[in-house]
Amino acid sequence: MNFSLMTSIFLTFSIGFLLYTLLFTRRKEAGRPLPPGPRPWPIIGNLPQLGPKPHQSMAALARVHGPLMHLKMGFVHVVVAASASVAEQFLKVHDSNFLSRPPNSGAKHLAYNYQDLVFAPYGPRWRLLRKICALHLFSAKALDDFRHVRQEEVGILVRALAGAGKTPVELGQMLNICATNAISRVMLGKRVVSHGTDNGDINAEEFKAMVVEMMVLAGVFNLGDFITPLEGLDLQGVAAKMKNLHKRFDKFLSVILEEHKINNDNGSNGQTDLLSTLISLKDVDDGQGEKLTDTEIKALLLNLFSAGTDTTSSTVEWVIAELLRHPTILAQAQQEIDSKVGKDRLVTESDLAQLTFLQAIVKENFRLHPSTPLSLPRIAQESCEIYGYFIPKGSTLLVNVWAISRDPDVWADPLEFRPNRFLAGGERPNADVRGVDFEMIPFGAGRRICAGMSLGVRMVQLLTATLIHAFDFELANRHSAQNLNMDEAYGLTLQRAEPLLLDPKPRLAPHVYKALV
């Protein structure tokens, strides 16, 4: 049998299977009131309508079809929540039915085949990983114990910016170094990235590129995830890229893990970092027959590096961009910090509680530029009914966080950067970003809310406060801030389409910067 004949048979079989599945699915759903949505194309469904920025495309579709919308992506039912009330139904009222993730290539090829915290099915393994993070990394005590690490790394960032001279700096890159080393010192007991290769395990530019590539690949709507017969063909080349990237991350993480094991065995580590704790827990039964494996440890480290670095750096980059475009707001924030902290030292975490306007700025940025514009997908364990509409078992749920926080029915002038809305006398003075108020859920909500939310809020507030307190920034090449490009580049996280290139000008007493040398 020649190659062309085999190809013809395969294509005929595949098309026949696709058509059969499509027709069978239609018959099965006949008469059931699915949520409204755009008419799907044959076989591929609504995938072509998503475009390069799906969060924006879905928001536009929801304005036509309503805040509870049904899409057909290949053979997969997808329901999109695009309002606070609809999101609350899924993530609070019916949260127990949407606790696991749907099958996807990112979890399979990047996240150690679902053995991480982010994509693990809801159950004993997930609860074990969540418990470990909650106790050893994200509890109030753990955050306070490692406060000095974050402050030291922010001080190193200030020193680097102050020493830039007349050379423009790429702010996002330097923020990423700070966030990565702040979390790596807690996880591993050491810094892992630097501007060169002498003082870190990996080059900073290379590491950020790896994390950004992961977020971009994880945000791709891969045909094979929605049309199963096409999975092996990898028509978009996504799976191949994921496998290659996974090898690079796994090599990096494996070396770190083995070095830690050797140090622990020799008694030379003498540290209380997270990885040492994880290694010590490997042979400990959690009471339900669950023990940690090396693969789960590496998968968890991968989660923490990816979710705890890029999200922080990109969020702060958006804040600074907005403040440059709104000099009056920036001046008010600087005045508040100067009055509470003075100009003879840097901001500390203990100062943040007094900086109410700074907190409002960060909230407003979370609203306009949520780090994850589309929530990580969830899957319906059983069929259910939401607002009278039938949600079939196996449906994928996407919450359009970006659209919800720009809803004109909830927010006055939703596209305007207005921190005052979160102050006394504003429209939302008591708004909470921690999954309580569904009008703004940048970290998600329900039992699978972002595990690192408290750390994320602290780090974004500390970085933002320190940057605008320690420096006045000008755009490189004297570009006008009013013409600053605010376009988004879509991935799993919300990156700026154009990096922010700045000239930092120190504004504190000279001895503050000398003390950091």
Three-state secondary-structure class, residue 170: strand
Phi/psi at 435 (nearest 5 deg)? Answer: 85, 10
Is 450 among the annotated ligand-binding positions?
yes
Cβ neighbours of residue 304 under 8 Å, at least 6 residues apart? 133, 137, 183, 187, 452
First CA to last CA distance, the chain: 73
Q: Which residue has the tokens 């540290």?
A: 271
Within a 10 A sphere around the Cβ of 356, how many other Cβ atoms? Answer: 15
Query: Residue 117 in contact with residue 302, Cβ under 8 Å?
Result: no
Left, alpha or beta for 496 (phi > 0: left; psi -120 to 50: alpha)?
beta
Supply 487's token pair. Answer: 């376009």
- Which value, in Å, is the radius of gyration of the alpha carbons in the chain? 24
DSSP calls for 231-283 = GGG-TTSHHHHHHHHHHHHHHHHHHHHHHHHHHHHTT------HHHHHHHTTT
Q: How large is the greatest C-alpha to C-alpha distance in the chain, in angstroms? A: 82
To which H or E segment does residue 386 belong? Answer: strand 384-386
CB-CB contact of 172 with 317 (8 Å): yes
Annotated binding site: 450
Binding residues for heme: 450
